[in-house]
Amino acid sequence: MLNLAEYRQRPALLADWLPWAGLVASGVVLNKDGSFQRTARFRGPDLDSATQGELVSTSARLN
């Protein structure tokens, strides 16, 4: 009987490309290589309602 398993390739899924293995605690992710990842949330200033002077000041600080 023919072994066709080597010719049946499943398409690469998104999970195959992502480094995350699972969530181990609140805000702590275990990566597939055994490392841990902690993510912090940051919310910057609202630049949509900023004046022109505030935008220039923020741009100068970032550059």
Range of 23's domain?
A: 9-39
CB contact at 8 A, 8 and 18? no
pLDDT in tens, 37-53: 998 888 888 989 999 99
Q: Give the total number of structural domains in the chain.
A: 1
> Is residue 26 in a domain?
yes
> Is residue 61 in a domain?
no
> Is residue 30 in a domain?
yes
Instruction: For the chain, give the DSSP string.
Output: ----GGG--PPPPHHHH--EEEEEETTEEEETTS-EEE--------STT--HHHHHHHHHHH-
pTM for the model: 0.52
> Cα torsion at 6, 8, 13, 19 (round to 10°)?
-10
> Is residue 17 in a domain?
yes
Residue in the structure block whose two tokens are 């010719």: 7
Does residue 35 carry a pLDDT above 90?
A: yes
> Is residue 33 in a domain?
yes
> Is residue 57 in a domain?
no
